[in-house]
Amino acid sequence: VFDDPGYFTVLTREVAFTGNANAFKYDWLRPWGPAADFSTADRLLALAAASGKPYTAQALFWNDYPPKWLLAEPARDLQRLFDSHLTE
């Protein structure tokens, strides 16, 4: 999708804004631990910028799909991890 010029042409012609339901969620950015991988999110934002379309994201936290490593964290550390996620 990212590198398909045909898709980009249709996107810029047919949509008023771009967005994604998952790329900014905790479990997608941090599937293996607290270090985030923003590569997909960054590519989506770059695509939106290149198309001149505003970008909208969905919920940054989704209670139904926490990464497994997060479930093992002590409750006292969750606020720090979530605050860090929002800041980053």
* Joined tokens for residue 37: 């991988």
Using CA atoms, how far apart are residues 35 and 71, in angstroms rounded to an integer? 16
Over residues 22-74, the pLDDT tens digits come to 888 889 899 999 999 999 889 888 888 888 888 887 777 777 789 999 999 99
Using CA atoms, how far apart are residues 82 and 88, in angstroms rounded to an integer? 10
pLDDT at 18 over 90: no
Report the pLDDT value the prediction gives residue 1, as an integer from 0 to 100: 63
pLDDT at 79 over 80: yes
3-state secondary structure at position 71: helix
Report the pLDDT value the prediction gives residue 23, as an integer from 0 to 100: 86
